[in-house]
Structure formats: structure tokens, C-alpha cells
């Protein structure tokens, strides 16, 4: 994985989070993203990890660099292709994470491609907000979050779940992980919502299989930077946290506009 490779090359990183929206244009000192730039960036990244998929390349907020999202990681590549930085870019003047906007745009666009029919949805009649939640049926915090589902709906929040088995898809022996198998059974159940809630309560469904989106949703989560569950994203693609109470979630959504 690119993450492990990059971390092995870097001494460390600074990680901060911020709620404020930053809409400043990218630094003009970095050239536009031409086909030649794309080739340079991909060559630079693949010199370290040949099989990495590059999702986004755009001018960085700082001069002389391009901002790149690749395999769930935020990278910064110098315009001459000689240097790479990994992690968040902090605007010290504003005390904000300057990487948040790029992540939000990417997540919003990618999540919009997932049909509602492939999600497990709990929604009030006329939702004020809709959130996307990557979840694992056996995760303690995910179970605690789901206990508040009626309260979320009462506050006008629609919750749309996507599958993200924390164990991954395949065991070291090569077979499917137990959680992946269970989540496939949930998504293949006649009544998904009933099977989902029962699994959250420790009552897994009868094993079954069908054409299902669990693998695709897990891989999507990896591309979006999910590294734990629950992972909650607002309608604008911004991260709203992991386990939160209905009051905390509503406040975060109001702050995001």
C-alpha cells in the first residue's frame, strides 16, 4: 500500500482538523494540470508504488506543488517532479487544514455515484440533511451510533449506510473475512434494514449471497481515506467524525451550512 511506503519515507506529519470552509483559489504560481503534468505526477508516484491509482491532480494551495489524491492518501508533488510530501497541508495563518477542501470535493463527487438502492437508508419523510456513513456491523461504536437512528431521523437527518468491513475482504489464508461474509448476507437479505439492525444487535443473518455492492463500497471507502468505522460524511463531502450523538451531529451539519 502507498500509505505504508510513504510513511516509511517520511519522518512524520502534522495532523489538525478544522470546521471552517476555505474556498481560496489554488496558488497561481503552480501551472495548470496539463497532460504533461499528469504524466509527470503519475510517473513520480509510480516510481515508488507501480500499481497506485491516481484519482485527483490539481494545483496545490502552496506555490510550486500539485495536490494529489491517490489510493486514499493526500500527496503533494513538486512541479519539477523531484519532491513529494505526504499528509495534510496546514495553513498556519488561518489555522486550518488546507487539504480539507480537496478531500470534500472528491468525496462528494464519488459518493454521489453510489445509487441509493445500494445503500441501507434510514430517513424521515422530509430530511433536512443526508449523511453517508461507512459502517461495520460488528464495530462497537457503529452499533452505538445505530442505537440513535430514530433520534437522527427525528432531527431531520437521513442516514445512508455503506459497507466497510474493518477486517477487510480477504483473510491471510485467502478466504473471505467473517465480517465481509456477514455484511454480504445483510445486503442480500430480503429485508436489508431488519437484517442490518439485527446484525448491529449481535444477531447475524442466515448466510446468503447475491450480486452485492459490499466489495465496491469497501474499495470506495479506501479511496476516500476511510481507515476506521463509523466514518461519517456530510452532504458536502466533509468529515463529520466517527461516533457522535444526535445533538453533536446536528450541530456539525448546521455549522457546515
Q: Is the pLDDT score of 72 beyond 90?
A: yes
| Catalytic residue check, 19 | no
Between 20 and 140, where is the model more confident? Answer: 140
pLDDT of residue 31: 60
Least confident piece of the model among 62-66, 108-112, 139-143: 62-66
Bridge-based pairing state of the strands 90-91 and 73-78: unpaired
Task: Summarize pLDDT for 6-15 with one digit per residue, the tens.
Answer: 433 332 332 2
Task: Provide the 3-class DSSP secondary structure of residue 163.
Answer: strand
pLDDT, mean over the chain: 87
Q: Is the pLDDT score of 255 beyond 60?
A: yes
Q: What are 164's three cell numbers?
A: 466497510
Least confident piece of the model among 71-75, 168-172, 211-215, 252-256: 252-256
Task: Provide the 3-class DSSP secondary structure of residue 141.
Answer: helix
pLDDT of residue 21: 28
pLDDT of residue 9: 36
Task: Sort residue 16 into left (φ over 0), alpha (ψ -120 to 50) or beta.
Answer: beta
Catalytic option among 136, 143, 188, 238: 136
CATH architecture of 114-255: 3-Layer(aba) Sandwich (3.40)
Distance CA 4, CA 63 (A): 27
Distance CA 71, CA 136 (A): 21
pLDDT of residue 87: 85
Phi and psi angles of residue 118, each rounded to the nearest 5 degrees, phi first: -95, 0
Report the percent of the chain where pLDDT is more than 90: 75
pLDDT of residue 15: 29
Report the percent of the chain where pLDDT is more than 70: 88
Per DSSP, helices labelled H in 1-133 are: 2-9, 35-46, 100-111
pLDDT of residue 104: 95
Catalytic option among 142, 143, 188, 238: 142
Question: Residues 233-244: what's their mean pLDDT?
Answer: 95
Catalytic option among 119, 143, 166, 238: 166
Q: What are 143's three cell numbers?
A: 452499533
Q: What are 132's three cell numbers?
A: 453517508
Bridge partners of 239, per DSSP, are 233
**For the chain, which residues make up each domain, given as ranges?**
2-110, 114-255
pLDDT of residue 20: 28
Which of 50, 87, 90 lies closest to 72, judged by CA?
Answer: 87
CATH architecture of 2-110: Roll (3.10)
Question: Residues 223-233: what's their mean pLDDT?
Answer: 96
Contacts of 201 (CB under 8 A, 6+ apart): 143
pLDDT of residue 13: 33
HSE, side-chain direction, 13 A CA sphere, residue 91: 21
pLDDT of residue 257: 56
Task: Summarize pLDDT for 18-58 with one digit per residue, the tens.
Answer: 222 233 343 444 568 899 999 999 999 988 888 888 999 99
Catalytic option among 139, 143, 188, 238: 139
Q: Is the pLDDT score of 3 beyond 80?
A: no
Distance CA 202, CA 181 (A): 15
Question: Residues 204-231: what's their mean pLDDT?
Answer: 96
Distance CA 119, CA 21 (A): 28
Q: Is the pLDDT score of 121 beyond 90?
A: yes
Amino acid at each position: 500500500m502507498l500509505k505504508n511506503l510513504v510513511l516509511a519515507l517520511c519522518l512524520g506529519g502534522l495532523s489538525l482538523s478544522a470546521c471552517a470552509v476555505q474556498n481560496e483559489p489554488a496558488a497561481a504560481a503552480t501551472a495548470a494540470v496539463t497532460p504533461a503534468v499528469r504524466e509527470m505526477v503519475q510517473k513520480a508516484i509510480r516510481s515508488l508504488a507501480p500499481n497506485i491509482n491516481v484519482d485527483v491532480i490539481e494545483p496545490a494551495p502552496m506555490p510550486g506543488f500539485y495536490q494529489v489524491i491517490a489510493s486514499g492518501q493526500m500527496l503533494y508533488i513538486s512541479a519539477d517532479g523531484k519532491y513529494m510530501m505526504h499528509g495534510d497541508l496546514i495553513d498556519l495563518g488561518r489555522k486550518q487544514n488546507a487539504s480539507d477542501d480537496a478531500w470534500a470535493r472528491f468525496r462528494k463527487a464519488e459518493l454521489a455515484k453510489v445509487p441509493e438502492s445500494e445503500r441501507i437508508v434510514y430517513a424521515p419523510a422530509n430530511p433536512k440533511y443526508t449523511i453517508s456513513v461507512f459502517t461495520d456491523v460488528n464495530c462497537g461504536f457503529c452499533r452505538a451510533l445505530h442505537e440513535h437512528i430514530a433520534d437522527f431521523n427525528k432531527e431531520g437527518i437521513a442516514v445512508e449506510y455503506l459497507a466497510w468491513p474493518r477486517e477487510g475482504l480477504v483473510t491471510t489464508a485467502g478466504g473471505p473475512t467473517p465480517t465481509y461474509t456477514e455484511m454480504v448476507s445483510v445486503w442480500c437479505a430480503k429485508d436489508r434494514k431488519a437484517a442490518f439492525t439485527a446484525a448491529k444487535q449481535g444477531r447475524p443473518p442466515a448466510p446468503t449471497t447475491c450480486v452485492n455492492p459490499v466489495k465496491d463500497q469497501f474499495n470506495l471507502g479506501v479511496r476516500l481515506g476511510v481507515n476506521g468505522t463509523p466514518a461519517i460524511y456530510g452532504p458536502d463531502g466533509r468529515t463529520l467524525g466517527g461516533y457522535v450523538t444526535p445533538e453533536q451531529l446536528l450541530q456539525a451539519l448546521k455549522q457546515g451550512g
